[in-house]
Structure 1
Amino acid sequence: MLVCKAWRSDGLVLIRNSQQQKARLLNWTHREAERKSFVSVCSTLGELGMAFHVAPGANKGDIAGQHRQALRRRRSGSAPLMLLALVLLALALLAGVAYVFIGSRGSTPPMQTLITADALMHSQRIAKAAPRAMLGDPEAFKQLHDSRKEFNNNVRVLLEGGNYQGDKIQAPSSDMSQNLKELRMAWQSSDKAADSIFRLKTELTGISAAHEKMKDLTPVLQELSEQVTKLKVEWGGTPREIHAAAQLSMLTQRLAKNALQLKISDGVDPEVAFMVGKDASTFRDIVDGLLDGSEALKLSLSKDAETRDRLTELKAQFAEYQKHVNQILGLMPKFIAAKQAEQLILSDNENLKQTLIKLQKKYRGQP
Structure 2
Amino acid sequence: MRTQVAIVGSGPAGLLLGALLGKAGIDTVILERKSKDYVLSRIRAGVLEQGTVDMLAEVGVDARLHAEGLVHEGFAVGFANRRLRIDLKDLTGKAVTVYGQTEVTRDLMAAREAAGLTTVYEADHVALHGFDGASPRVTWTKDGRTHELACDFIAGCDGFHGVSRASVPVGKLRTFERVYPFGWLGILADVPPCSHELIYAGHDRGFALCSMRSKTRSRYYIQCGAEEDVAAWPDGRFWEELRARLDPEAASHVVTGPSIEKSIAPLRSFVAEPLRFGRLFLAGDAAHIVPPTGAKGLNLAASDVHYLAEAFREHYGAGSGDALDAYSARALARIWKAERFSWWMTSLLHRFSDQNTFDRRMQEAEFIYLEDSRAARTALAENYVGLPF
Question: Per the shorter chain, which TM-score range?
Answer: under 0.3
Higher helix share: 1
Bigger radius of gyration:
1
Structure showing greater relative contact order (alpha-carbon pairs closer than 8 Å, 6 or more residues apart)? 2
Structure with bigger strand share is 2
* TM-score under structure 1 length normalisation: 0.22
